Amino acid sequence: MMSREPLKVAVRTAKKTRDAARGALLWGYEQRLGRAVKAHGKMPRHLGLILDGNRRFARATGLQREMGHSFGADKAHEVLQWCLELGIPAVTIWVLSTDNTSRDPEELAHILRLLEREARNLATDPRIHANRVQVRAIGQHRDFPPNVLQALQDLEQKTAHYDGMRLNIAVGYGGREEIVDAVRAYLQGQAAAGTPLAQVAQTLRPEDISAHLYTAGVPDPDFIIRTSGEIRLSGFMLWQSVYSEYYFCDVYWPGFRRVDFLRALRDFQGRDRRFGK
């Protein structure tokens, strides 16, 4: 009987050739797309990223659940580089929501360990210091372990004086909680100044709330990308996103490619922002 091995070798060789050709075509397309996006020049002043799909990525690829979060953390570093290369002035990445803090304790512990590790990595990352990136952790962190809190505080302190990109890491973050915290901070300030409650209610303006949000001092996000195919904001920047443009990408966050990022930006560049008019 004739050996089937030569046929198997031929099939493997053809597959490798086909995959290489596809890779070359994708690379060429990505390069052209990158040049077109840069040539257009219009970039978001503040980009919001909802990093969704880590667990589903792990499930789809046969990995342990925790590995999805690990791959997601690596992807966040990669996307930060893309943003730096394009000169995007402000980026907010949503890493952990207030809803997520009620997940399985083992999974949450893994996420918090990753958060501590990545905070310490960013504090010594040459890109952060060379590009003078100011990093802030936004959200409610009071119940985080002391080691995680210390890592986040060290990162903020080491970059507080920088005047480059503003990078907000939203952890323990919820949009409703942010608005409540902003209103509370405003009322506490007014009470400390001795302003009567009736006068506070009479003179309250949207600007008073904006000034006490976690993102105070940073322009509202003009473009928000969410991965994983979910078409909702889930509470991300409820106050600030009133005039944001949205882009929903089907790929899970760990699988988010540079070509996906460039396609999103090209879509943004083609929109006519009318601010409700």
* Residues making up the binding site for substrate: 53-57, 65, 69, 97-99, 103, 226, 232-234
Angstrom CA distances, 270 to 40, 104, 131, 202, stand at 10, 42, 28, 42
* Known active-site residue 52: yes
Annotated binding-site ranges: 52-57, 65, 69, 97-99, 103, 226, 232-234, 245
Tell me the backbone φ, ψ of residue 205, rounded to 5 degrees: -125, 160
* Full 3-state SS string of 190-254: HHHCCCCHHHHHHHCCHHHHHCCCCCCCCCCCCEEEECCCCCCCCCCCCCHHHHCEEEECCCCHH
Q: Of the residues 100, 121, 181, 208, which is catalytic?
A: 100
Tell me the backbone φ, ψ of residue 62, rounded to 5 degrees: 75, 25
* Known active-site residue 131: no
Dihedral sign for Cα atoms in the order 182, 185, 189, 191: positive
CA distance 76 to 110: 16
Tell me the backbone φ, ψ of residue 3, rounded to 5 degrees: -65, 140
Q: Of the residues 52, 220, 222, 260, which is catalytic?
A: 52
Q: Please report where in the chains the tokens 């589903």 appear, as a residue.
A: 56
Dihedral sign for Cα atoms in the order 183, 186, 191, 195: negative
Q: Which residues participate in catalysis according to the annotation?
A: 52, 100
